[in-house]
Amino acid sequence: MSQANFPSITPTISLSINQSIPLLLISIALEELALAHLLNAEAEKIQFTVGTLSPSLSPANVSLSNLLTINSDIRRTITNVIKKEMLLEAKFNNVLDVMQGACPCPLSQGFWRTHPELWPVTSLTLGTINYTQTQLLAIMGLPPGGNALVTLDLQLIAAKLNVANGACPPADVIQALTIADLLIDGLNPLPPTSNVVPPGSVLGQQMVAVAAILEAWNTSCE
């Protein structure tokens, strides 16, 4: 028997590992959905046979042997679905392994402050203000004591650099990143504005709490 002859198709596909992971998860979800529809069809087969599928449908006139045949067919389908589920579980576990290997560890604000040459980007937006790398380094050189704005800025800079570097933030960190920008808004700790937010104020307490979430993630691999 000759081998299958495939046409010469060489598309150019350029996907990073992080870009391919959502596609793999989507494929698993679609396969799960297909299996769910298949099981539902088998359930409706039983309902039709016993006359409970719809009031407008009369039950089929089947003998005991036919019922046993239908039961055997359904058992065979369920067995195949179980086998497929085992394969999907293995596929999902493989994706999880890739996710763990694809996401580099987040790094602390101290690391980023002392290694500007390794920054993946040269500008970031904090709140509603865009800063250059030089301005960001100036913020990271400010003493955080007595100013919750600086406390939050330090951790937000590190967290955003980690995301830009390919780290994968969990859901609570993604939420904290959004809240941090909302809290900072147009506040700027650099001259000439030199905004100060007392840590004991309502806004300051919120900033410190969000900074703690970001710091826990930034230092989670230490």
Q: How confident is the model at residue 131 (pLDDT cuts 50, 70, 90)?
A: very high
Helix H or strand E encompassing 131: strand 129-132
pLDDT at 201 over 80: yes
* Mean pLDDT, range 117-132, rounded to an integer: 96
Q: Are 122 and 178 in contact (CB under 8 A)?
A: no
Residue with tokens 């409970």: 52
pLDDT at 60 over 80: no
Q: Are 210 and 162 in contact (CB under 8 A)?
A: no
pLDDT at 98: 75
d(CA 176, CA 170): 10
pLDDT at 1: 45
State the chain's mean pLDDT as an integer.
Answer: 88
pLDDT at 5: 64
* C-alpha to C-alpha distances, 161 to 2, 5, 62, 158, 165, nearest whole angstrom: 55, 49, 68, 5, 6
Distant-in-sequence, close-in-space partners of 140: CB < 8 Å, separation ≥ 6:
109, 112, 113, 154, 157
* Mean pLDDT, range 120-146, rounded to an integer: 95
Q: Are 149 and 108 in contact (CB under 8 A)?
A: no
Please give the model's pTM, rounded to 2 decimal places: 0.59
What residue segments make up the domains of the chain, in order of their start? 17-102, 109-218
